[in-house]
Chains A and B, each alone.
Chain A
Amino acid sequence: MDESVYKVTVARDLEDLIPVFIKNRHKELDILRVALAAADFEQLRQLGHRMKGVGNSYGFDHVSTLGKYIEDGARSGDRAALDARIREYAEYLAKVQIAYE
């Protein structure tokens, strides 16, 4: 993946919101994994939709992109695609670098 995806710039005045935002993304990742294991596509769809809505708002465009893929994958019941995207999400959260300006 293009390394620039991992670099996110956030407005300085939102800095204090970011730890909670990131913590919630990790929680989300855990729930995504459980939902996939249970083949709960409705929950996967809802989580993907939520990621899609919130990622861009904070400047984490790739969260929104992955959210859209997860939402689409859940709609079509594509477990392999969902598994790949959830792994990608985990990698993204592990590598993301945040700069404040």
Chain B
Amino acid sequence: MTRSVGPSVRVLIIDDDPDLRSLLARYIKQRWADAAVDEFDPLSQAFPERSFPLGSYQAVILDYMLGRGDGLEWLQKLKARPDCPKILFLTGAGNEIIAVRAMKAGADDYQRKQELTREKLLASLRELMAPVTDTTSPELAARKEGHSLGARIRIPGIKVLRLIGEGGMARVYLASREGDDEPLVVKILRREVLSNRTALERFMEEYSLVEHIQSRHVVRIYGHGNVDEHAYLVMEFFEGGDLNRRLEGKALAPAEALRIFRELMFALGEIHEKGILHRDLKPQNLMFREDGTLAILDFGIAKQIDATTDRTNAGEILGTPRYMSPEQVQGRVLDLRTDIYSAGVLLYQMLTGGHLFGGDSAMEVALHHLNTPPPSLPGELEPYQRLLDKLLEKDRDARFRNADEVIGFLTRKFGVGSTDVTQKL
């Protein structure tokens, strides 16, 4: 093991893979030029003895599979030492229960190894190594506030483990169910939103809408309530992440895009049948389970079709401009065809890797939905043009009327569905 002298940052990487150690060390040294990064190979070295200068590091990166050893056991032993620094634990994708156990064992953060980018690694280390009082970066300060809230909040039967996302309305945490460590997600409404009664009602309405839908195409919500003046929802954790992560700015193979789109149609068919419009379909709201099945979440601005009260004020526009239907942009009364249009925008994105409409502002994008004909698909995607045209009709009367019509079209034109595991429940 080699070490330089007087560095500003000291990190220890414990991993059995020399290539991964080299890569992580490179990322760290690129960010902190004088960093000292020590590599520890558990295949050739036994667990560090008491004399090992663990406390001289500001952070340890520890893999959960160490060849001969179990990363969780190493984590527990390292954390038992009073001089143990912050630990970033690397887990496998699709195995969130390991992340849950690591956080419960004292890890200070975790990252899925297969999805670990330079940016994610450095952001995590920066956060772990920053002094508690460091509020120089507003983003860092906000994250710290989020972590602090997660550590304080007490939800019966649930352990909140780690801040994993922040939205305008709520913070999102990895959590676990006490007893069996089942990974869950807890959404906690931002305090500043609490004073906005409409926003609060929308947040809580998500639970009341979704609890009536027993469908594998819809996120499972396990509970909700208020604790310490914080409104929260407890919901299903999705191992497969969201469509945004799957796309990563690139097109999917047409067969895969069509498979996902068809699942989405089944999902829409089910929620529409229950009298619910989603009104905010976008890649971040389409989640995948480990087996690849899709579920919709974020019903925060969903609406019951026959509801007597609508929290949308007259002319108020809700939704994400990139995926809005023309009638949504106009603030008109919506029906289920609005979700069909938004699904068409998503299909375009899955097939091409790009957005249907671009623009310098949300308003510009929104106006394209009203006035600009959708661009034609490139030659190799021409077989999907007619489907898209009918999904993206600006006149909703000319659009597919419902999800069943779309599924029928898919089956007739593309034959998908006969051997697909996806079947309407």
Contacts and interface: CB of A to CB of B under 8 A. Distances in A.
Chain B associates with chain A: yes
A77 B92 CA distance: 21
B23 A17 contact: yes
Interface string B115-133: 1100000000000000000
Main secondary structure of the interface of B (DSSP, over half): helix
Interface stretch (A30-38, A47-55, A83-91): A47-55
B22 interface: yes
Interface in B349-371: none
A57 B111 CA distance: 12
B335 interface: no
Interface residues of B, number: 18
Interface residues of A, number: 16
Interface in B1-55: 16-20, 22-23, 26, 30
Nearest to A71: B92
Nearest to B64: A53
A97 interface: no
B79 interface: no
**10 nearest CB pairs, A to B:** A53-B113, A56-B114, A54-B20, A21-B19, A54-B19, A54-B17, A50-B17, A57-B23, A24-B19, A17-B22
14 contacts: A14-B26, A20-B22, A24-B19, A49-B92, A50-B16, A50-B65, A53-B17, A53-B90, A53-B113, A54-B23, A56-B115, A57-B19, A57-B113, A57-B116
Given A52-B114, A53-B114, A56-B115, 12 more contacts: A13-B26, A13-B30, A14-B26, A17-B22, A17-B26, A24-B19, A46-B67, A50-B17, A53-B65, A57-B23, A57-B113, A58-B23
Interface of B: 16-20, 22-23, 26, 30, 63, 65, 67, 90, 92, 113-116
